[in-house]
Structure 1
């Protein structure tokens, strides 16, 4: 199989769709975070889904950005780098949560409880959780700022579905309201981002046409050679 730009771009679109669906799926009936839950198989499965979401979404936004670098502009570059770094940190954090925390839950329950508390938006740790706490906070900032900036850049560039680009920006911005609405399940705020990734991925996949189709279109629209016309 020949690997072409079209193939890679479509693969990025599929990655974004799958990542978005995983992100929506992991929010459904998510149990309360506590020491009992992180020792279960379900915990590891959900953490793995989050890791896949971040990795696939990184591939997806890379394809979106490269689709039209010049039209994305400086704002698009900043948004892409910010959101991309957020996804990289997310993979690391979710991996630590899925496979390190269960291993130390029995020996360091207070530390694990504090990490779980900080993982919830607006939550606070009782003790010091060190570098992990800083990374979680940094990832939250990158995720919010990157989603907002990249969504705006895509919306302005008119490259992909504008409704999905707007939803990506609004979904990131809406997370600021989580601490103000404690009565609302905070996991609902993640669903718009998942839907936005699905929409952008589908738009990116559909946007690509085969080289043959482009050639036929170009041939049909080009003027006849005068020598042939005679």
Structure 2
């Protein structure tokens, strides 16, 4: 009895000889390059956020009613709003670069510190778009809102608004410490700016005892730390792709 075999290769478009073998490494390599590029880009945002945060402190207009309708107020507060958004991107990039080694402490620092800047952006948005039109028709409200920032709130703006601003300060304190410590422990990014970030956040409550004009300068070390970390992201990933 004759046996018919089917071992011969198929002929036509489905022929096994015409099907290229899959390369399972190609998609992961492309996605890895894309992720590295995004993290590298976040380094630019971290540098920008740090430069603005440190740079505007000596020239920031006084937080008083007379300032909110000036040109300098519009320029500086616009920079502050862009800075808040840049901080969010920079924080995400710093965490993404070391997520595998930062653990739960790093995740907590990312969430808490990022949340502080997210909430801060709401106050800055109010300073930029809401306070100037109200300066002439509701000066008491504007003065009270600014009082939350400069430490002299009025009855008109105490309560939930002042409490929310206190939460922003607490998240900034805790988030900065957690992010600095977790970055030191991860050992991926430079140690010095990470320590600087944690220490600068730690001494923030002590700065609150200084006059408001001097309190601003407590932000300078945090700005320097972010510039340093942002540059580290750029240079390290640049070397890894060379």
- What's the TM-score, normalizing by structure 2? 0.81
State whether structure 2 residue 110 is matched by structure 1 residue 86: no
> What pairs up with 1:60-209 in 2 under 5 angstroms?
60-120=90-150, 123-129=151-157, 130-182=159-211, 185-209=214-238
Structure with greater Cα Rg: 2
SS of equivalent residue, structure 2 residue 65: coil
Distance in 2 between the 1:104 and 1:184 partners?
Answer: 24
Other-structure match for 1:33: 63
Offset at residue 200 of structure 1 (A): 0.5
Contact 1:60/1:201 (CA < 8 Å) preserved in 2? Answer: yes
Residues 184, 124 of structure 1: alpha-carbon distance in 2 compared, 3 angstrom cutoff: closer
Distance in 2 between the 1:23 and 1:212 partners?
Answer: 30
Contact 2:140/2:156 (CA < 8 Å) preserved in 1? Answer: no
Contact 1:151/1:166 (CA < 8 Å) preserved in 2? Answer: yes
SS of equivalent residue, structure 2 residue 56: helix
- Give RMSD over aligned pairs: 1.9
Name which of 49, 56, 59 aligns with 2:79.
Answer: 49
Contact 1:23/1:49 (CA < 8 Å) preserved in 2? Answer: no
Offset at residue 136 of structure 1 (A): 1.5
Question: Unaligned regions of 5+ residues in structure 1, if any?
Answer: 214-230
Offset at residue 25 of structure 1 (A): 1.7
